[in-house]
Structure 1
Amino acid sequence: MNKPILTPLEVLQLFPPHDLTLGYFLDVRVEVDPDKAMLIFAERTWSRAEVLAESRRLAARLQGEGVKKGDRVIVAGRNSAWHVFALIACGLTGAIFVPVNPQLTVGELGYILGNARPALVLCADELQEICAQAMQESCQTAPLLTLNDALVEAVDTPLAAVAIAATDPLLMIYTSGTTGFPKGVLHSHQSFILAGEAFIGRMHLQPDERMLLILPMFHINALFYSVSGAFAAGATLIVEERFSASRFWNVAVRHRATQVNMIEAVVSILLTRPEEEYRPEHTIRKAYGIRQAMVERVQKKFGITHAIGGYGMTEIPGVISTPFGMVAPVGSMGQLCAHPDPARDWAECRVVDDDGADLPDGEIGELWVKTPVRMLEYFGDPEQTAASFSDGWFRTGDLVRRDQEGNFFFSARKKDIIRVRGENVSGAEVDRVLLQHPDVEIAAAIGVPGAMGDEDIFAAVKLRDGAEVTPDDLKDWCGKHLAAIKVPSYVALMNELPLTPTHKVQKVKLKEQVLNSDYRKAG
């Protein structure tokens, strides 16, 4: 006999009330059913009680290493069960979980280390050397420990109690910024938990859901939607080390997955894979992160009934999405999301002009958002934090329009961000690295349409007089100083770039020129 389908509010009501701190939030779920499978990684399964017990042991180890409330704990490595344990351990000790991209270069990681000033660094075996180099270059002296069972094998000291409030910081995600340097986006316990509860409403998650996590756990999608959503619903979280197109359907079938989060690049890859890899007996019926233009293909080819798109930022996760079970208008980002509990105040959106005045439906303006799921600050950057808000409204830098039915439509970005395979890349960061080359006089990186959706990076470069470097030389230079995803796909050597009177590149004008040319012939 099939179990009844619960409403999102009924799912939340399966568990006792909590105080919006991660430890208490998980305690009440363990209390309801301690033996329920909570986490699967590398063919190993942990129950709710086992996950909490392992996390408590790691928390005690953190305290034994001197980690205190408010300290940052860097976690570097591909997805693992340890990411989950470390997140919870930080929540129990009052520390701040800081996951980082394992593909960062020494220089990139060194910048983050210098900015975060961690009390402890946890990293995968294969990253020991690069982490040690980055710590030396950034003058950090925190303990460097390896992510494996040895972390907790010898722990026999009890976890010391720490007073924690819902508004205390829990995690920090580094995101590319228009300044050219990553910014640490700091979120509280309640922000993380409320995002997960809201995801129940967005996807109508059930407690018997088996949620497959394939996206990297240093991004909001994996953490605020998959991880927090699974915690909130009492579902089982299946963590894959990374996305593998050739293994995806076999993994989905083996673990009987029912829900997955994707990005456009993942969808594009799966749609073009050999037919023999697809397993029609899979049980995935819900997928989040599917752009509206791809919904019909995903539903027809993969049999995924509910393919949901949405909009959010690292600073404000989970603001807009396609209403569950509804068909969004062509090109729509969706409508304003809501929390399953109607008694909770939730997100509001405004579309405003350059002066911050509200615009009528149908007109294009900047999207401003006010939501309880919002960052506390850009870590160590009060000026940038203040500049990002106006009377409590977060200024997204995205230009949108809203129709009379409440559907939002994306128009363009005001900020200098390039969306590459689901990741935000700062154009200013690529500019800065190119300008460090001794033969480059002017450089500007912009986004151009990519073959797999999202964008590719196009770098326009003016060389100094007499320079003889090639586009490939400049790509190699970028590859030595930037993660692979930030290396330009195209480099064009130009005699002149459009400049402002203050000698800054007019990227809007440059982009118009590039898109009107046969830019794919560039090096």
Structure 2
Amino acid sequence: MERTTIQSLLLKGLKRFNDLPAITLLPSEETLTYKELFEKAGRISHYLLRLGVGRGSHVATLIPNSLEHVIFNLAIQQCGATLVPLSEKLGIREVDYILKESKPKVVIMATQSHVATILEYLEGAKDSDIRVIGLSGFNISYPDKFELFQWQEEKRDLDLPIASVEDIALLSYTGGTTGTPKGVMHSQEGLGAAILSAAIEDPLDDRDRLLLSTPIVHSAGSLLWRALISGVHVYIMRSFHAEHVMHAIKEYRITTTFMVPTMLYRLLDLTKKIDYDVSSMRNIYYGASPISQERLKEAFEVFGPIMRQQYGMTECNIVISRLSKSTHVWAYHNNQEILKSCGKPCILSEVRIIDDNGNDVRPFEFGEIIVKSPTIMVGYYKRPELTKKTIRDGWLYTGDIGMWDESGYLYIVDRKKDMIISGGMNVYSSEVERLVNQHPAVSLSACIGVPHPDWGEAVCVVISQREGFSCTEEEIIDFCRKSTSKYMVPKIVYFRDSLPLTPLGKVDKKEVKEMYAQGILTIK
């Protein structure tokens, strides 16, 4: 059997389900069957081939959640080209940087917020062959230098290039919450392995109805491709809105969805105000940031024993470890500490935790998580030195601090860059956040280190409160003092109506630190 590529998986997978519904856009209910999706993607792939797109070409996309997002991304994969997906929520600086570094041959866009950015890039680019394609139907006025895409009856007289396993299928840029965005290169074989690993870990089939309301350019995109090779009916929303999600679950008998903890919290809060029906649900995937244990127990009460956690990162395509539904249920009834873990390594992933000397740590000792898997990145684009530092002897050094328990469950303690050193003691910010989030008045929190003349850094938390609840700085400090070591207790507590979030729904600590630097945080 030939080695698997993402191109071959998608080509074979989509052909199997013909007239079954593949994609539905909400709320319009516009739907494509698998046959229609495959046919439309084929027409666009031949359109791209005529523009000179092929193996080795970079194609950047700036398309919000939509049918077009799915079709054009699939067409790029069919061409064997390298997809460079951009989020519409990226800043001007990030988009400009990514375009200048990746140098796409074609840019496909459907977002008004970056028309000026793309136009400036196009006018300043030395390569006159760059094409910018604007998609209609998004209420955007495109400049004359952009080409408006028009559907045509394309004659299929061009053979699709056959991608090799080593070809770069995806150039995905890190979120840029710290420093300059880094281009993460994934090979055709690596992405294929990631989809197969996810299919083994989390079986879905043509009886499932998957709702995606988070940006497809992030984790939801991996789940989308994994679903489409299995005949799943995928429902897509432009963006997350708690009331709309709850309505869709009831109306379309959704079985599966993915969300980050902040979204789950909003659904749980909503269920206290409205009548709801979630009886069709059988899977809720969550991940991307730590979850409050109290809110997780609430989710069990509302949705039932259907929670699945996944741990991954851009560099390893979301398949490092899983906390399965059955383990959630067992832990809920027998050992709720395990609910703090991110499960056990996935079927294609080998995971170690090592100390500063490269030795494996014992259970309950902290160290850096490293991963070996066919799904890890090839490297960072145009950054060979950083690649050598991050991938050593086939192991990806994640930068995450973790530990094992005695049963082999993996726990994420913190990111190395978010660790606070206060009075010579290592303070893991995510551990402080987990503790603070257990306070009944806390909706979200962010823990950062702030300069202190004696301790070097002081532990500081910034909190947004749950609707209808209130607390003070003294109450939060006292709550933490009763449950953790003295050096872990926050010295300063600030309050905000809401915390800044990244496009994926994580608390944006870079922005929180900037808020502190600007002096716009307040204490009650």
Listed one character per residue, the Cα deviations across residues 78-124 of structure 1 (whole Å, up to 9, x for unaligned) are 21122211221111111111111102232221111111111111111
Distance 2:523 2:120 in 1: 34
Distance 1:234 1:268 in 2: 30
* Secondary structure class of the residue paired with 1:521: coil
Q: Provide the residue aligned with 2:22 in structure 1.
A: 38
* Secondary structure class of the residue paired with 2:242: coil
Q: Provide the residue aligned with 1:516 in structure 2.
A: none
Listed one character per residue, the Cα deviations across residues 198-253 of structure 1 (whole Å, up to 9, x for unaligned) are 2233333233111111111221x1122x2122023221111111111221111222
Q: Provide the residue aligned with 1:511 in structure 2.
A: none
- Are the counterparts in 1 of residues 163 and 188 from structure 2 also a CA contact under 8 Å? no
Counterpart of 1:106 (choices 92, 113, 128) is 92
- Are the counterparts in 1 of residues 367 and 401 from structure 2 also a CA contact under 8 Å? yes
Q: Provide the residue aligned with 1:166 in structure 2.
A: 165
Q: Provide the residue aligned with 1:258 in structure 2.
A: 255
Q: What is the TM-score when the length of structure 2 is the normalising length?
A: 0.74
Residue 234 of structure 1 pairs with residue 234 of structure 2: no
CA offset at residue 137 of structure 1?
7.7
Listed one character per residue, the Cα deviations across residues 378-405 of structure 1 (whole Å, up to 9, x for unaligned) are 1111111111011000001111111221
* Secondary structure class of the residue paired with 1:289: strand
Counterpart of 1:358 (choices 360, 376, 380) is 360
- Are the counterparts in 2 of residues 196 and 230 from structure 1 also a CA contact under 8 Å? no
* Secondary structure class of the residue paired with 1:162: coil
Farther-moved stretch of structure 1 (446-455 vs 83-92): 446-455
Q: Provide the residue aligned with 1:331 in structure 2.
A: 340
Q: Provide the residue aligned with 2:183 in structure 1.
A: 184
Counterpart of 2:72 (choices 67, 80, 86) is 86
Q: Provide the residue aligned with 2:321 in structure 1.
A: 320
Number of aligned residues: 429
Task: Supply the AA of the counterpart residue of 1:488.
Answer: V
RMSD of aligned alpha carbons = 3.3
Residue 285 of structure 1 pairs with residue 282 of structure 2: yes
Q: Provide the residue aligned with 1:156 in structure 2.
A: 154
Q: Provide the residue aligned with 1:455 in structure 2.
A: 446
Distance 2:176 2:358 in 1: 22
Farther-moved stretch of structure 1 (52-61 vs 226-235): 226-235
* Runs (5+) with no aligned partner, structure 2: 138-147, 332-337, 421-428, 454-499
* Runs (5+) with no aligned partner, structure 1: 1-16, 339-345, 419-445, 463-478, 496-518
CA offset at residue 292 of structure 1?
7.1
CA offset at residue 53 of structure 1?
0.9
Listed one character per residue, the Cα deviations across residues 264-315 of structure 1 (whole Å, up to 9, x for unaligned) are 11112222236444522552221011647243211212x2431111211110
- Are the counterparts in 2 of residues 378 and 385 from structure 1 also a CA contact under 8 Å? yes
Task: Supply the AA of the counterpart residue of 1:100.
Answer: L
Distance 2:356 2:194 in 1: 30
Quickly say closer, same or farther: Cα 1:198–1:138, change in 2 above 3 A: farther
Quickly say closer, same or farther: Cα 1:382–1:286, change in 2 above 3 A: same
Distance 1:164 1:196 in 2: 17
Matches within 5 A, 1:15-54: 19-41=3-25, 42-54=28-40
Listed one character per residue, the Cα deviations across residues 429-464 of structure 1 (whole Å, up to 9, x for unaligned) are xxxxxxxxxxxxxxxxx99858544637788799xx
Quickly say closer, same or farther: Cα 1:196–1:277, change in 2 above 3 A: farther
Quickly say closer, same or farther: Cα 1:125–1:261, change in 2 above 3 A: closer
Farther-moved stretch of structure 1 (383-392 vs 281-290): 281-290
Q: Provide the residue aligned with 2:405 in structure 1.
A: 403
Task: Supply the AA of the counterpart residue of 2:515.
Answer: V
Residue 270 of structure 1 pairs with residue 267 of structure 2: yes
Quickly say closer, same or farther: Cα 1:157–1:487, change in 2 above 3 A: farther
Distance 1:296 1:105 in 2: 36
Quickly say closer, same or farther: Cα 1:388–1:256, change in 2 above 3 A: same
Residue 305 of structure 1 pairs with residue 302 of structure 2: no
Distance 1:175 1:392 in 2: 21
Distance 1:71 1:493 in 2: 42
Matches within 5 A, 1:61-80: 61-80=47-66
Distance 1:18 1:232 in 2: 18
- Are the counterparts in 1 of residues 281 and 306 from structure 2 also a CA contact under 8 Å? no
Q: Provide the residue aligned with 2:135 in structure 1.
A: 147
- Are the counterparts in 1 of residues 305 and 325 from structure 2 also a CA contact under 8 Å? no
- Are the counterparts in 1 of residues 54 and 161 from structure 2 also a CA contact under 8 Å? no
Structure 1 residue ranges (4+ consecutive) displaced by more than 6 angstroms after TM superposition:
456-462
Q: Provide the residue aligned with 2:211 in structure 1.
A: 212
Distance 2:268 2:59 in 1: 38
CA offset at residue 50 of structure 1?
1.2
Q: Provide the residue aligned with 1:118 in structure 2.
A: 104
Task: Supply the AA of the counterpart residue of 2:106.
Answer: L
Matches within 5 A, 1:433-472: 449=433, 452-453=443-444, 455=446
Counterpart of 1:56 (choices 42, 45, 56) is 42
Farther-moved stretch of structure 1 (92-101 vs 483-492): 483-492
Q: Provide the residue aligned with 2:220 in structure 1.
A: 222
CA offset at residue 138 of structure 1?
6.0
Distance 1:31 1:128 in 2: 35
- Are the counterparts in 2 of residues 60 and 155 from structure 1 also a CA contact under 8 Å? no
Distance 1:324 1:176 in 2: 29
CA offset at residue 357 of structure 1?
1.5
- Are the counterparts in 1 of residues 515 and 521 from structure 2 also a CA contact under 8 Å? no
Quickly say closer, same or farther: Cα 1:352–1:116, change in 2 above 3 A: same
CA offset at residue 490 of structure 1?
6.3
* Secondary structure class of the residue paired with 1:173: strand
CA offset at residue 76 of structure 1?
0.9
- Are the counterparts in 1 of residues 56 and 82 from structure 2 also a CA contact under 8 Å? yes
Matches within 5 A, 1:438-517: 449=433, 452-453=443-444, 455=446, 487-488=511-512, 491-492=515-516
Distance 2:369 2:232 in 1: 33
